[in-house]
Amino acid sequence: MKATAEAGVHIFGVRHLSPGGAKHLLEYLNELQPTAVLIEGPSDATDEIRHLTHRSTKPPVAILAFTEDLPVRTALWPLAVYSPEYQGIKWARDNGAEAAFIDLPSSVILSLQDVMRREGTFSKGEVKPEAEETGEPSTEEAEQQESVYRRIARLAGEHDYDMYWERNYEHNANAGAYRAAILSFSSEMRLLSESREQLEQPKEHAYNALREAYMRRQIRETIAAGHAPDKIVVICGAYHASALADLSDVLADKELAGLPSRSTKLTLMPYSYYKLSTMSGYGAGNGAPQYFEMMWETMAAGRPEELAHLYLSTVASHLRSSGTHRSTAEVIEAVRLAESLAALHGGSAPT
């Protein structure tokens, strides 16, 4: 089904665990005052938003989808308090805007991934569908590509890719520059990865194309429901941002009806910093989730410059509680050293 692209829908590409992205997103939402906030996530989980945003729900938390019949398959969509998606749905609740997930329903996702797993496209185990996002290579991709990500870090003079990302994106205080930079970066990375994906992982490429066609359909349905295009903000992984900017190619009714499906149920489950981390094998995780939560807290308080003090004093407190003495003077020296090294590296703050 072809349709004319609607101008004016605002696409905000994010990294799924990004305090800087969450901060800039909130500023963007406050500026635009949208009537609809659409989020990459299983569309049948939209009813879970009221539970996600309930005041008794404390992140980290994950949306869990599981099949009702055997063999049981599961998929997880984890959220930290500093996930842009989580902050986006909270903003919608607080400002009377509609919030909805717009990705393929979990019943289709689990059925498709079951087929792809049998054909060797996916590894065994639980599926975390967002792990392919640009800026966050999956564990399998990272092994296959010593690749672009490490080369970027090396060319930037950084120890690793996460350090490159933090210094260039999380520390980017200019809202307009942040959004433009991440969209440009993701577009270039997509051009690099798509040609390889088409040749080496055609089923994965087709799967992402299908998801994007469905998300475009959902965006158009939101417009048809009465929301002005310029009052819609779409929050998606940066990998998908350029593909969702043009709404001309959407999934047809016949194509949607022909998709495989397994009966699924959804619930919320408590999560942990460890499961949000790359140490757990989570491809879209980061190295230190609690550190980034501290970053979010200092950003939200308008005092991002206090992060190094807060983090290193917390480390010292843990050391003291385990019987290793660390003085206040040592913490002060560590903060000064971190700030000096950041300045020598051309950064605005320690990573």
CA dihedral 91, 246, 122, 104 (to 10 degrees): 60
* pTM for this model (two decimals): 0.88
Whole-angstrom Cα distance, residue 348 to residue 155?
19
Same domain, 151 and 260: yes
Same domain, 119 and 205: yes
Same domain, 31 and 163: yes
pLDDT in tens, 266-280: 999 999 999 999 899
Domain coverage including residue 307: 303-351
User: Cα 137 vs. chain centroid, distance in angstroms?
Assistant: 12
Q: How confident is the model at residue 141 (pLDDT cuts 50, 70, 90)?
A: very low
Share of the chain above pLDDT 90, in %: 65
Same domain, 234 and 327: no
Q: Residue 145 domain-assigned? A: yes
Domain count, the chain: 2
Q: How confident is the model at residue 160 (pLDDT cuts 50, 70, 90)?
A: confident
Same domain, 36 and 95: yes
Same domain, 255 and 315: no
Strand partners, 103: 42
Same domain, 248 and 313: no
Same domain, 30 and 178: yes
Same domain, 63 and 197: yes
Q: Does 139 have pLDDT greater than 80?
A: no
